[in-house]
Amino acid sequence: MKKLAIISEFNPFHNGHKYLLDKAKEDLACDLAISFMSGDFVQRGEAAIVDKFTRAKTAVENGFDLVIEMPNFISLQAAEFFALKSLEILDKMEIDYLCFGIERLDERDFLDKAKIVINNDNFINQELKKYLANGISYTKALNSAISKLVGDDFISANNILALEYMKAIDKLKSKIIPYPICRVGSLNKDKTINDKFYASSTAIRNNISSDISKLMPRTSFKNFSNFFKNYNRINDEFFYKIFTYKLIVEKKAMTDIIGYEEGIENHLIKLVDRNRTFDDFINEATSLRYTKSRVRRLILNYILDNSFKLNYIDIHFIRILAYNKKATKIFNNFNDKVDIVINKADSKILDQNNFKIYEKMINSSNLYNLAIGREINYDYIHNNKPFK
C-alpha cells in the first residue's frame, strides 16, 4: 500500500491545501493520504485560529484518510528541527512520498537546486559564519549563503522549509521520496487577498471579517464558522499574562527550555517589566537577533515547560486526530516501531518517555482550551470515531 504524507498546519484549511492534496493524489496514485499536522499551536509561535480537531475533521472531509497530531514541542521549533523530527516519525511509518508546496521555481529546478545546497554544506557553513560575524541575523545570513550558491529565486520561507525536509530525508537516509508541487494563486508570505479563489493562510487570518468563503472548501468554511459560534477568539494577552506570572512572580528558570540561549532570560524580564501589553512587548523584543516567531515559540515552550530533553526522546507512537474507514485497514500494517493512540486508553501501551510526550500534547490542548473557553481535558471526551 503506497502512502503519501503532507506536513501541515491547515491554519485554516484553504483551497491551496486542497489543490496540493488533489494534485499529489492524482500524480502519485497512492492508496493512503496522511496529514502530519500541528496541534493547537503552530510553528510561528501562535495558537491556531481554530482547534486541532476542527482542522483534522476538515482535512478528512476534503480528501485525507488520516490526520496525525504533531507533538507540540516539535511544532514550536525552528524549521530545521521541525522538519527533522517530523521526518523521523514519518520514516518509521514507512511513508513512500512526502509532498510539499514550493514557490517561484518549477519542481525540477527546485529539486536540482536543493541537491546543490545539500551537497555543498561546507560552503554554506563558511558563508554563514562570514555573514553572522557582520552582525546579520541567522535567518538572513542563511538565506544570503544559499542565494549565493543557487540564486535569489530560491529564497522564501516556504522553499527553505521544503529544503529542510529534503535535508532531513538525506540525513536520515530515508527511502521517502520528496515530491514538490508549485503553489498556485498566492505566495506563502502574502498578507492580503489578491485572488478570487487562492490566498495564503496568513491573508485569510488577517481578513476573517471579509467574505473569505470562496477561498476555502465549503466544509472548511462551515467548520471554521461554527467554531467561532461556540468558542472565544484567541487573544495573545491571555498567554502573555501567564508568561508574565511565571517569569516575574514564579521566577521559573528558562535555561532548559527549548529556544533558550544565554542572555535572553534577563532581556525578556526587562521587557516584561516595562510593557503591559503583548503587542508592545513583542515589538520591543523583536530584533535582528530575536525574530518575532522565535520569541513567540520561546514563550509557549516556557509556559508548557518544554525542555531540551524532549528532543532526545525516540518517539514511537502516533496520536490520531481524525481518520476514515480506509485508514483503519492499515493500522495493523505499520511496523513495530509505531504504536497507535486514538483514545486515552491506548496511551497505556506507551513507555515512560513516550507517555511524557503524550501528556505534553494533552497539556498543550488544555492551555488552548482555557484560552477559548472550552472544558479541560476535552481530548478525552472528544468523539474520535472514523469518518465515513
Question: Binding site membership for ATP: which residues?
Answer: 7-20, 101, 158, 183
Residue owning grid cell 489578491: 194
Annotated binding site: 7-20, 101, 158, 183
For 382, other C-beta atoms within 10 Å of its C-beta total 13
Spell out the residues 6+ positions from residue 222 whose beta carbon is closer than 8 angstroms to its own.
none
> CA-to-CA distance for 116 and 124, rounded, in angstroms?
11
Q: At what angle do helices 79-92 and 157-172 cross, to 10 degrees?
A: 50
Exposure string of 287-320, with b = 16+ CB inside 10 Å and e = fewer, is eeebbebbbbbbbbbbbbebeeebeebebbbbbb
> CA-to-CA distance for 84 and 236, rounded, in angstroms?
29
Cell numbers found for residue 330: 492499515
